[in-house]
Amino acid sequence: MTRFIQTLTDQAKRLATRSPWIYRINAGSCNGCDVECATTACIPRYDVERLGCQYCGSPRHADIVLITGPLTARIKDDVLRVFAEIPEPKVTVAVGVCPISGGIFRESYAVHAPMNQFIPIDVNVPGCPPRPQAIIEGVAEAIAIWRARL
């Protein structure tokens, strides 16, 4: 009986990972990566809805968080607050080099790079900005991690 319940839960988890909802946080990005994210989401050419992805407006609905930008000093507290609003289990994807290392803004007094000293980041997608296909690959990596966490 317990084994039956176990297999049932596993099957349900397998189904659940086919519905990753995506939320974007702009942590002081130059908008380059945001444009690429929007391209990935909106144009028929890449159609992430095929993978069950859906961009959601509210952090409460999110499963996969795409973070862009180097985490500027001004926006740091707000980003941490919004990040805390996202219910578990969640997976964080850093899009672009800024959240990973600070990129071109590294060592600036105005940014708190790298971001993973404040937020646990699971997948990195380097690029300045990364191309949409690379973002989709990053989301695929994130789904694999998410499945283990459910």
Partner 1 sequence: MQPYAYPLAVLLFPGGLFALVLGLALKGVDRRLAARLQRRVGPPLAQPFFDLVKLAFKRTMVPDIASQPVFLGAPLVGAATMMLAAAMVPIAGVYTPDPALGNLLVLLYLLAIPAVVLMIAGSASGSPFGAIGFSREMALMLAYEGPLVLVVAAIAVRVGHGQGGWASFSLTEIVAYQARHGAFLFDPVMWPALLAFLAFYPANLGIIPFDIPEAETEVLEGPLLEYSGPALGLFKVMSALKSVVVLSLGIALFFPTAPSGVAGLAVQLCKLLLLMLVGVTLVRVSCGRMRIDQAFRFFLKWPLALSLASLVAVVVI
Partner 2 sequence: MNILKLFYRNLTQGPSTVAFPFGPAWTPPKLRGRIRFDLPACTGCRACEQVCAPGAIRFDKTPEGLRFMMWHNSCVFCGLCNFYCPTDAIVQSDDWHLAHPTARMYEMAIRELIPYTACSACGTKTLASAPNPVGVEPPFSAEEIEQFRHLCPGCRKKALEERTPNHAPTE
**In the numeric block, which tokens belong to residue 76?**
């740091």
5 binds partner 1 (CB under 8 A): no
**Binding letters toward partner 2, positions 32-61, x by CB under 8 A:** ------------xxxx--xx----------
| 22-51 residues near partner 1, rule: CB under 8 A | 44, 47, 49-50
Residues binding partner 2: number (CB under 8 A): 34
Task: Name the binder of 148 from partner 2, partner 1, none, CB < 5-8 A by kind.
Answer: none
User: Rounded distance, CA 41 to CA 39, Å?
Assistant: 5
Paired residues of 64 in beta bridges: 22, 91
**H or E, element range at 97:** helix 97-101
User: Rounded distance, CA 125 to CA 148, Å?
Assistant: 20
Member of 7, 31, 58, 133 binding partner 1 (CB under 8 A): 58
Whole-angstrom CA distances from 1 to 4, 6, 7, 98 are 5, 9, 10, 50
- Sign (positive or negative) of CA dihedral 82, 72, 23, 93: negative
Binding span for partner 1 by CB under 8 A among 29-37, 53-61, 74-82, 94-102: 53-61
133 binds partner 2 (CB under 8 A): yes
Contacts with partner 2, residue ranges (CB under 8 A): 44-47, 50-51, 97, 100-104, 106-107, 116, 121-128, 130-131, 133-138, 140-141, 145
